[in-house]
């Protein structure tokens, strides 16, 4: 059959070319988050290969190169581990040596290799019959290859669901942790990555529809086409955002006190070993309030827990206990409460200072962060507060 390059084939080629560009950019030695970006580059490279595979299928070049059919299919098992390792590397200070435990993440890839063997050993005509569902009689070898391919696809569907959940859990723990250390988190809260994860959920369901239900629903290949076009946009958006993401744990050397395990056991164990007495807790609380009133450290837009602990004259661990347990707040919320109180005073001055200027003076780095924090604390926007008072 003569190959035909249609609009969709061209889109696949453009997507593959864009993928190569992003892979090279992510591997640039000058880019921050080097190890995390290696995982992201590997993820994008695998996806780029899948786009080349889709191009060969859509344009029917597989008729000329049938030996390539099924060659990269086992690589689908790498999507989940590579994405999870990217998230884990991006959000961890110092990863423990996991060795065998990490090796288990690659186990399904080798299972995928075994399941692909029945496809690889088919002759060229049998591969074409299997891939394009031609009407001629299906031999036992083709039937067996189809069965093994179905099992492989089922395992991929389950694996992707597991890794989406693992990534959500790790990101949730990370976002909770940075609130205990930083007063400014807008650039490091990875909200873009959380959004992309939420977008992957309906795409995962669309993938299931395409693989298992498209024929029964009479939608043919439309679900698969939609899936790949949307995935190109989402995954390459992730690549660009990865290039722009600042290095999180190089902002402050002092964040070595941040818990390193996502199960939260690190912080709990640390507190049990150095639990403050009630007397010492009250003393530190008094010192903290005095420092906040006299030094006004909350006006520093990048104040961190270790820096505040240095002002108070105690360890980061002890100060964290005072704020978390004694006051029932995260470091982020504690600092913002003082900033909002300062901003409320400024909003009511006769000079009518612009809201943005007040936000900057109060220690916020952006108008959006100020509005979000103000509405959470006061229940209305700064502009509304000024008008009603």
CATH of the domain at 276: 1.10.10.60
Query: Minimal CA–CA distance to 52: which of 232, 314, 176?
Result: 232
Domain that holds residue 361: 269-388
CA distance 312 to 80: 44
In a domain, 28, yes or no: yes
CA distance 64 to 3: 8
Residue spans of the chain under pLDDT 50: 250-261, 264-269, 272-273
- pLDDT for res 310: 94
In a domain, 315, yes or no: yes
- pLDDT for res 95: 55
CA distance 157 to 265: 31
CA distance 63 to 127: 9
In a domain, 48, yes or no: yes
Domain boundary among 222, 251, 280: 251
* DSSP classification of residue 182: B
- pLDDT for res 268: 47
CA distance 75 to 152: 11
- pLDDT for res 98: 62
Q: Decide: 286 and 294 in contact? Cβ < 8 Å.
A: no
Domain boundary among 203, 220, 251: 251
Residue 3 DSSP SS3? coil
In a domain, 262, yes or no: no
Give the CA angle between residues 326, 329, 331 to the nearest 5°. Answer: 105
C-alpha dihedral (128, 133, 139, 145), degrees to nearest 10: 80
Indicate whether 274 and 211 sit together in one domain: no
CA distance 276 to 284: 10
Residue 4 DSSP SS3? coil
Indicate whether 202 and 331 sit together in one domain: no
Residue showing tokens 């344009």: 59
In a domain, 1, yes or no: no
Domain boundary among 251, 286, 318: 251
- Residue 57: how many CB atoms within 10 A of its CB? 18
Burial of 265 (0-12, 13-18, 19+ CB in 10 A): exposed
Indicate whether 152 and 180 sit together in one domain: yes
In a domain, 232, yes or no: yes
Query: Minimal CA–CA distance to 110: which of 59, 81, 75?
Result: 75
How many domains in the chain? 2
* DSSP classification of residue 323: I
CA distance 164 to 270: 30
Q: Decide: 80 and 159 in contact? Cβ < 8 Å.
A: yes
Indicate whether 85 and 220 sit together in one domain: yes
Indicate whether 174 and 285 sit together in one domain: no
Burial of 357 (0-12, 13-18, 19+ CB in 10 A): exposed
Indicate whether 145 and 96 sit together in one domain: yes
Give the CA angle between residues 151, 156, 157 to the nearest 5°. Answer: 100
Indicate whether 113 and 15 sit together in one domain: yes
Indicate whether 49 and 166 sit together in one domain: yes
Q: Decide: 375 and 381 in contact? Cβ < 8 Å.
A: yes
- pLDDT for res 138: 59
Indicate whether 336 and 370 sit together in one domain: yes
Indicate whether 123 and 244 sit together in one domain: yes
In a domain, 301, yes or no: yes
Indicate whether 345 and 224 sit together in one domain: no
Residue 249 falls in which region: left (phi positive, over 0), alpha (psi -120 to 50) or beta = alpha
Q: Decide: 304 and 252 in contact? Cβ < 8 Å.
A: yes
Indicate whether 310 and 342 sit together in one domain: yes
Residue 82 DSSP SS3? helix
- Mutual angle of helices 7-26 and 222-244, in 10-degree steps: 20
CA distance 343 to 64: 69
In a domain, 376, yes or no: yes
């Amino acid at each position: 059959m003569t190959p035909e390059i249609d609009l969709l084939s061209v889109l696949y080629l453009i997507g593959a070319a864009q993928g190569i560009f992003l892979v090279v950019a992510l591997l640039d030695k000058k880019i921050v988050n080097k190890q995390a970006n290696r995982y992201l580059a590997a993820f994008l490279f695998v996806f780029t290969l899948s786009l080349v595979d889709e191009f060969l299928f859509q344009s029917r070049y597989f008729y000329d190169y049938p030996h390539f059919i099924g060659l990269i299919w086992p690589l689908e098992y790498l999507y989940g581990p590579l994405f999870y390792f990217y998230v884990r590397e991006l959000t961890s200070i110092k990863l423990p040596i996991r060795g065998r435990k990490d090796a288990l993440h690659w186990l399904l890839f080798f299972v995928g290799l075994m399941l692909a063997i029945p496809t690889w050993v088919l002759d060229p005509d049998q591969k074409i019959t299997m891939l394009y569902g031609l009407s001629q009689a299906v031999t036992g070898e083709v039937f067996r290859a189809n069965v093994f391919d179905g099992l492989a696809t089922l395992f991929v569907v389950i694996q992707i669901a597991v890794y989406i959940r693992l990534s959500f859990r790790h990101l949730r723990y990370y976002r909770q942790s940075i609130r205990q250390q930083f007063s400014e988190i807008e650039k490091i809260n990875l909200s873009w990555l959380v959004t992309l994860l939420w977008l992957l959920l309906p795409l995962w369901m669309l993938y299931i529809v395409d693989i298992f239900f498209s024929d029964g629903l009479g939608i043919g290949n439309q679900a698969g086409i939609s899936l790949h076009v949307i995935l190109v946009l989402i995954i390459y958006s992730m690549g660009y955002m990865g290039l722009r993401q600042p290095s999180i744990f190089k902002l402050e050397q002092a964040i070595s006190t941040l818990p390193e395990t996502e199960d939260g056991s690190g912080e709990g164990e640390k507190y049990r070993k150095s639990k403050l007495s009630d007397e010492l807790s009250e003393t530190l609380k008094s010192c903290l309030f005095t420092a906040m009133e006299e030094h006004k450290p909350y006006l520093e837009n990048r104040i961190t827990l270790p820096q505040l602990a240095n002002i108070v004259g105690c360890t980061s661990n002890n100060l964290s206990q005072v704020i978390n347990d004694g006051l029932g707040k995260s470091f982020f919320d504690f600092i913002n409460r003082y900033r909002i109180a300062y901003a409320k005073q400024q909003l009511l001055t006769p000079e009518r200072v612009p809201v943005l200027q007040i936000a900057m003076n109060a220690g916020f780095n952006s108008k959006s962060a100020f509005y979000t924090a103000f509405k959470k604390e006061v229940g209305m926007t700064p502009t509304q507060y000024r008008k009603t008072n």
